[in-house]
Protein backbone atom coordinates (compact mmCIF):
# COMPACT_ATOMS: atom_id res chain seq x y z
CA UNK A 1 0.00 0.00 0.00
CA UNK A 2 1.58 3.27 -1.15
CA UNK A 3 0.58 6.38 0.77
CA UNK A 4 1.58 9.95 -0.04
CA UNK A 5 1.37 12.11 3.10
CA UNK A 6 1.35 15.90 2.82
CA UNK A 7 1.91 18.28 5.73
CA UNK A 8 4.13 15.64 7.34
CA UNK A 9 5.60 17.95 9.98
CA UNK A 10 2.24 19.07 11.39
CA UNK A 11 0.48 17.44 14.37
CA UNK A 12 -1.54 14.90 12.41
CA UNK A 13 1.22 14.36 9.85
CA UNK A 14 3.81 13.62 12.55
CA UNK A 15 1.49 11.20 14.37
CA UNK A 16 0.68 9.44 11.09
CA UNK A 17 4.39 8.96 10.37
CA UNK A 18 4.92 7.48 13.86
CA UNK A 19 1.98 5.12 13.42
CA UNK A 20 3.10 3.94 9.98
CA UNK A 21 6.64 3.38 11.25
CA UNK A 22 5.60 1.55 14.44
CA UNK A 23 2.69 -0.58 13.28
CA UNK A 24 2.26 -0.65 9.51
CA UNK A 25 5.32 -2.07 7.76
CA UNK A 26 3.08 -2.91 4.79
CA UNK A 27 2.63 0.83 4.12
CA UNK A 28 5.18 2.40 1.80
CA UNK A 29 4.98 5.96 3.03
CA UNK A 30 6.20 8.99 1.15
CA UNK A 31 5.97 11.68 3.85
CA UNK A 32 6.37 15.21 2.54
CA UNK A 33 6.57 18.45 4.45
CA UNK A 34 6.17 21.84 2.82
CA UNK A 35 9.83 21.97 1.72
CA UNK A 36 9.44 18.63 -0.10
CA UNK A 37 5.99 19.26 -1.56
CA UNK A 38 4.25 22.63 -1.51
CA UNK A 39 0.71 21.50 -2.22
CA UNK A 40 -0.23 24.93 -3.58
CA UNK A 41 2.17 24.24 -6.48
CA UNK A 42 -0.08 22.38 -8.95
CA UNK A 43 2.78 21.28 -11.19
CA UNK A 44 4.79 19.90 -8.25
CA UNK A 45 1.74 17.97 -6.99
CA UNK A 46 1.06 16.48 -10.43
CA UNK A 47 4.73 15.58 -10.88
CA UNK A 48 5.08 13.81 -7.52
CA UNK A 49 1.76 11.98 -7.69
CA UNK A 50 2.56 10.91 -11.26
CA UNK A 51 5.98 9.59 -10.21
CA UNK A 52 5.00 7.90 -6.95
CA UNK A 53 1.58 6.57 -8.09
CA UNK A 54 0.14 6.37 -4.54
CA UNK A 55 -2.88 4.23 -3.68
CA UNK A 56 -3.85 6.90 -1.14
CA UNK A 57 -3.08 10.59 -0.71
CA UNK A 58 -3.50 11.71 2.91
CA UNK A 59 -3.63 15.50 3.09
CA UNK A 60 -2.63 16.55 6.61
CA UNK A 61 -1.46 19.96 5.38
CA UNK A 62 -3.51 23.09 5.96
CA UNK A 63 -3.35 26.78 6.74
CA UNK A 64 -4.28 26.45 10.42
CA UNK A 65 -3.47 29.92 11.77
CA UNK A 66 -7.11 30.77 12.44
CA UNK A 67 -6.56 34.38 13.53
CA UNK A 68 -3.87 35.17 10.94
CA UNK A 69 -6.24 34.01 8.18
CA UNK A 70 -8.51 36.99 8.90
CA UNK A 71 -5.81 39.34 7.57
CA UNK A 72 -4.41 36.84 5.04
CA UNK A 73 -7.44 35.38 3.24
CA UNK A 74 -5.44 34.79 0.07
CA UNK A 75 -2.80 32.77 1.93
CA UNK A 76 -5.51 30.68 3.60
CA UNK A 77 -7.32 30.15 0.28
CA UNK A 78 -4.13 29.03 -1.49
CA UNK A 79 -3.53 26.20 1.00
CA UNK A 80 -7.03 25.32 2.16
CA UNK A 81 -8.76 25.47 -1.25
CA UNK A 82 -6.48 25.88 -4.26
CA UNK A 83 -4.00 23.30 -3.01
CA UNK A 84 -6.80 20.83 -2.22
CA UNK A 85 -8.04 21.25 -5.80
CA UNK A 86 -4.52 20.33 -6.93
CA UNK A 87 -4.54 17.19 -4.79
CA UNK A 88 -8.08 16.19 -5.81
CA UNK A 89 -7.23 16.60 -9.49
CA UNK A 90 -4.04 14.57 -9.19
CA UNK A 91 -5.81 11.88 -7.12
CA UNK A 92 -8.59 11.61 -9.70
CA UNK A 93 -6.15 11.52 -12.62
CA UNK A 94 -3.90 8.86 -11.06
CA UNK A 95 -6.68 6.79 -9.43
CA UNK A 96 -5.63 7.48 -5.83
CA UNK A 97 -8.00 7.68 -2.87
CA UNK A 98 -7.93 11.09 -1.16
CA UNK A 99 -8.22 11.56 2.62
CA UNK A 100 -8.70 15.19 3.55
CA UNK A 101 -9.20 16.77 7.00
CA UNK A 102 -11.65 19.53 7.76
CA UNK A 103 -12.98 21.25 10.83
CA UNK A 104 -15.86 22.01 13.19
CA UNK A 105 -15.35 25.67 12.17
CA UNK A 106 -17.53 25.06 9.10
CA UNK A 107 -20.51 25.39 11.49
CA UNK A 108 -21.69 28.60 13.10
CA UNK A 109 -21.68 27.20 16.63
CA UNK A 110 -25.29 28.15 17.31
CA UNK A 111 -26.65 24.78 18.41
CA UNK A 112 -27.29 22.76 21.53
CA UNK A 113 -27.05 19.29 20.10
CA UNK A 114 -24.18 17.64 18.19
CA UNK A 115 -23.78 18.73 14.56
CA UNK A 116 -24.59 16.05 11.98
CA UNK A 117 -22.62 15.79 8.75
CA UNK A 118 -25.55 16.96 6.63
CA UNK A 119 -26.40 20.00 8.75
CA UNK A 120 -26.07 23.21 6.70
CA UNK A 121 -22.69 24.89 7.14
CA UNK A 122 -22.29 28.54 8.04
CA UNK A 123 -18.63 29.35 8.75
CA UNK A 124 -17.96 32.46 10.79
CA UNK A 125 -14.30 32.99 9.92
CA UNK A 126 -11.99 33.07 6.91
CA UNK A 127 -10.40 29.84 8.13
CA UNK A 128 -13.83 28.17 8.36
CA UNK A 129 -14.93 29.44 4.92
CA UNK A 130 -11.73 28.29 3.25
CA UNK A 131 -11.95 24.87 4.94
CA UNK A 132 -15.56 24.54 3.72
CA UNK A 133 -14.53 25.40 0.15
CA UNK A 134 -11.67 22.91 0.58
CA UNK A 135 -14.16 20.14 1.44
CA UNK A 136 -15.98 20.77 -1.83
CA UNK A 137 -12.66 20.77 -3.70
CA UNK A 138 -11.65 17.45 -2.10
CA UNK A 139 -14.97 15.85 -3.00
CA UNK A 140 -14.53 16.64 -6.70
CA UNK A 141 -12.36 13.52 -6.54
CA UNK A 142 -14.75 10.57 -6.81
CA UNK A 143 -12.81 8.44 -4.32
CA UNK A 144 -12.40 10.84 -1.41
CA UNK A 145 -13.29 11.21 2.26
CA UNK A 146 -13.43 14.42 4.27
CA UNK A 147 -12.89 13.91 8.00
CA UNK A 148 -14.08 16.86 10.05
CA UNK A 149 -12.33 17.02 13.40
CA UNK A 150 -11.99 19.46 16.31
CA UNK A 151 -9.68 20.82 19.04
CA UNK A 152 -6.61 18.83 17.94
CA UNK A 153 -3.81 18.25 20.44
CA UNK A 154 -0.65 16.15 20.52
CA UNK A 155 2.97 16.07 21.58
CA UNK A 156 3.83 17.86 18.31
CA UNK A 157 3.59 21.43 17.06
CA UNK A 158 1.55 24.14 18.71
CA UNK A 159 -1.66 23.31 20.47
CA UNK A 160 -3.79 24.11 23.49
CA UNK A 161 -2.27 21.40 25.70
CA UNK A 162 1.26 22.67 25.14
CA UNK A 163 0.17 26.29 25.62
CA UNK A 164 -1.48 25.39 28.94
CA UNK A 165 1.66 23.58 30.11
CA UNK A 166 3.81 26.61 29.27
CA UNK A 167 1.42 29.12 30.85
CA UNK A 168 0.93 26.87 33.87
CA UNK A 169 4.68 27.01 34.49
CA UNK A 170 4.93 30.77 33.88
CA UNK A 171 1.90 32.09 35.77
CA UNK A 172 0.25 31.45 39.15
CA UNK A 173 -3.25 32.16 37.77
CA UNK A 174 -4.95 31.66 34.41
CA UNK A 175 -8.27 32.83 32.96
CA UNK A 176 -9.78 30.33 30.52
CA UNK A 177 -12.82 30.56 28.26
CA UNK A 178 -15.72 28.53 29.61
CA UNK A 179 -18.53 29.29 27.14
CA UNK A 180 -17.18 27.50 24.07
CA UNK A 181 -17.87 23.77 24.05
CA UNK A 182 -16.36 21.06 21.90
CA UNK A 183 -14.53 17.75 21.81
CA UNK A 184 -10.73 17.63 22.01
CA UNK A 185 -9.15 15.13 19.63
CA UNK A 186 -5.72 13.48 19.89
CA UNK A 187 -3.86 13.79 16.57
CA UNK A 188 -2.69 10.18 16.96
CA UNK A 189 -6.31 9.03 16.96
CA UNK A 190 -6.96 10.95 13.73
CA UNK A 191 -3.92 9.18 12.28
CA UNK A 192 -5.36 5.82 13.42
CA UNK A 193 -8.75 6.65 11.90
CA UNK A 194 -7.02 7.54 8.61
CA UNK A 195 -5.18 4.21 8.72
CA UNK A 196 -8.46 2.36 9.30
CA UNK A 197 -9.92 4.16 6.28
CA UNK A 198 -6.89 3.22 4.18
CA UNK A 199 -7.41 -0.48 4.94
CA UNK A 200 -11.23 -0.47 4.86
CA UNK A 201 -12.93 -2.40 2.08
CA UNK A 202 -14.76 -0.63 0.65
CA UNK A 203 -13.35 2.69 1.86
CA UNK A 204 -16.00 5.13 3.10
CA UNK A 205 -16.43 8.23 0.93
CA UNK A 206 -18.05 11.62 1.55
CA UNK A 207 -18.11 13.66 4.74
CA UNK A 208 -17.60 12.12 8.20
CA UNK A 209 -17.12 13.60 11.65
CA UNK A 210 -14.30 12.25 13.80
CA UNK A 211 -13.51 13.78 17.19
CA UNK A 212 -12.58 12.65 20.68
CA UNK A 213 -15.32 11.28 22.93
CA UNK A 214 -16.55 13.61 25.65
CA UNK A 215 -17.78 17.18 25.46
CA UNK A 216 -16.07 19.92 27.47
CA UNK A 217 -15.21 23.62 27.47
CA UNK A 218 -11.72 25.10 27.06
CA UNK A 219 -11.84 25.62 30.83
CA UNK A 220 -12.62 21.94 31.43
CA UNK A 221 -9.92 20.88 29.00
CA UNK A 222 -7.35 23.19 30.66
CA UNK A 223 -8.26 21.94 34.14
CA UNK A 224 -7.80 18.30 33.07
CA UNK A 225 -4.46 19.07 31.38
CA UNK A 226 -3.05 21.00 34.33
CA UNK A 227 -4.21 18.53 36.98
CA UNK A 228 -2.72 15.64 35.03
CA UNK A 229 0.50 17.62 34.43
CA UNK A 230 0.88 18.03 38.21
CA UNK A 231 0.38 14.28 38.72
CA UNK A 232 2.89 13.52 35.94
CA UNK A 233 5.45 15.79 37.59
CA UNK A 234 5.53 18.21 34.65
CA UNK A 235 4.10 21.03 36.73
CA UNK A 236 5.02 21.85 40.34
CA UNK A 237 1.81 23.55 41.37
CA UNK A 238 -1.73 23.82 39.99
CA UNK A 239 -2.33 27.42 38.90
CA UNK A 240 -5.50 29.13 40.04
CA UNK A 241 -8.06 28.87 37.22
CA UNK A 242 -10.82 31.38 36.52
CA UNK A 243 -13.57 30.64 33.98
CA UNK A 244 -14.25 33.61 31.68
CA UNK A 245 -16.69 34.29 28.84
CA UNK A 246 -15.46 34.65 25.24
CA UNK A 247 -16.23 38.37 25.42
CA UNK A 248 -13.29 38.78 27.82
CA UNK A 249 -10.84 37.25 25.33
CA UNK A 250 -11.47 38.91 21.95
CA UNK A 251 -9.70 37.36 18.93
CA UNK A 252 -9.60 38.45 15.25
CA UNK A 253 -11.48 35.28 14.19
CA UNK A 254 -14.85 34.41 15.68
CA UNK A 255 -14.94 30.92 17.26
CA UNK A 256 -18.04 28.68 17.27
CA UNK A 257 -19.73 28.54 20.67
CA UNK A 258 -20.90 24.96 20.33
CA UNK A 259 -18.59 22.73 18.30
CA UNK A 260 -19.65 19.24 19.35
CA UNK A 261 -20.05 17.02 16.28
CA UNK A 262 -22.02 13.81 16.10
CA UNK A 263 -19.74 10.86 15.36
CA UNK A 264 -22.53 8.31 14.83
CA UNK A 265 -21.93 8.07 11.10
CA UNK A 266 -18.25 7.11 11.36
CA UNK A 267 -18.98 4.74 14.25
CA UNK A 268 -21.60 3.03 12.06
CA UNK A 269 -18.86 2.61 9.46
CA UNK A 270 -16.84 0.70 12.08
CA UNK A 271 -14.38 3.45 13.03
CA UNK A 272 -14.83 4.16 16.73
CA UNK A 273 -13.90 7.53 18.19
CA UNK A 274 -12.11 7.26 21.55
CA UNK A 275 -12.04 9.31 24.74
CA UNK A 276 -9.59 12.22 24.75
CA UNK A 277 -9.07 12.21 28.53
CA UNK A 278 -6.55 9.32 28.71
CA UNK A 279 -4.84 10.75 25.64
CA UNK A 280 -3.77 13.72 27.78
CA UNK A 281 -1.78 11.27 29.96
CA UNK A 282 -0.26 9.71 26.86
CA UNK A 283 0.85 13.08 25.46
CA UNK A 284 2.22 14.19 28.84
CA UNK A 285 4.24 10.97 29.09
CA UNK A 286 5.62 11.51 25.59
CA UNK A 287 6.56 15.09 26.43
CA UNK A 288 8.17 13.94 29.69
CA UNK A 289 10.22 11.31 27.85
CA UNK A 290 11.36 13.86 25.27
CA UNK A 291 12.52 16.16 28.09
CA UNK A 292 14.54 13.48 29.91
Whether 7 contacts 59, CB under 8 Å: yes
Among 17, 82, 86, 103, binds ligand NAP (CB under 6 A): 103
Minimum Å gap between C-beta 217 and ligand NAP is 15
Whether 280 contacts 224, CB under 8 Å: yes
Measure the CA angle with vertex 265, ends 260 and 266; round to 5°: 90
Q: Is residue 263 at the binding interface for ligand NAP, with CB under 6 A as the rule?
A: no
Among 3, 5, 7, 82, binds ligand NAP (CB under 6 A): 7
Q: Is residue 64 at the binding interface for ligand NAP, with CB under 6 A as the rule?
A: yes
Among 3, 4, 5, 11, binds ligand NAP (CB under 6 A): 11
Cα 121 to Cα 79: distance, rounded to the nearest angstrom: 20
Of 156 and 226, nearer to ligand NAP (C-beta) is 156
Cα 31 to Cα 17: distance, rounded to the nearest angstrom: 7
Q: How many residues bind ligand NAP (CB under 6 A)?
A: 27
Q: Which of 63, 127, 186, 210 is catalytic?
A: 127
What phi, psi does 28 have (nearest 5°)? -90, 105
Of 79 and 197, nearer to ligand NAP (C-beta) is 79
Contact map string, positions 145 to 164, toward ligand NAP, x by CB under 6 A: ----xxxx----x-------
Whether 291 contacts 145, CB under 8 Å: no
Name the pairing type of β-strands 152-153 and 28-32: unpaired
Query: 156 catalytic, yes or no?
Result: no
Q: Quick one: DSSP state of residue 201? A: S
Cα 28 to Cα 20: distance, rounded to the nearest angstrom: 9
Q: Is residue 124 at the binding interface for ligand NAP, with CB under 6 A as the rule?
A: no
Interface residues with ligand NAP (CB under 6 A)?
6-7, 9-12, 33-34, 38-40, 60-64, 79, 83, 101, 103, 131, 149-152, 157, 187
Catalytic residues: 127
Amino acid sequence: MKVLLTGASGQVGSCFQDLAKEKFPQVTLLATDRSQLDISDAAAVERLVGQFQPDVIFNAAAYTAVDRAESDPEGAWNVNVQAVENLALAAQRHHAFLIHISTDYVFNGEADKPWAEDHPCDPQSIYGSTKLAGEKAALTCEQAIVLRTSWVFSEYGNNFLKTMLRLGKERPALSIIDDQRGCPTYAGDIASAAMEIIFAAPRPTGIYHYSGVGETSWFGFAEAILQKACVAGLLEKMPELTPIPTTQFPTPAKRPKYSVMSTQKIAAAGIMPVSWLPRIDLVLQKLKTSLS
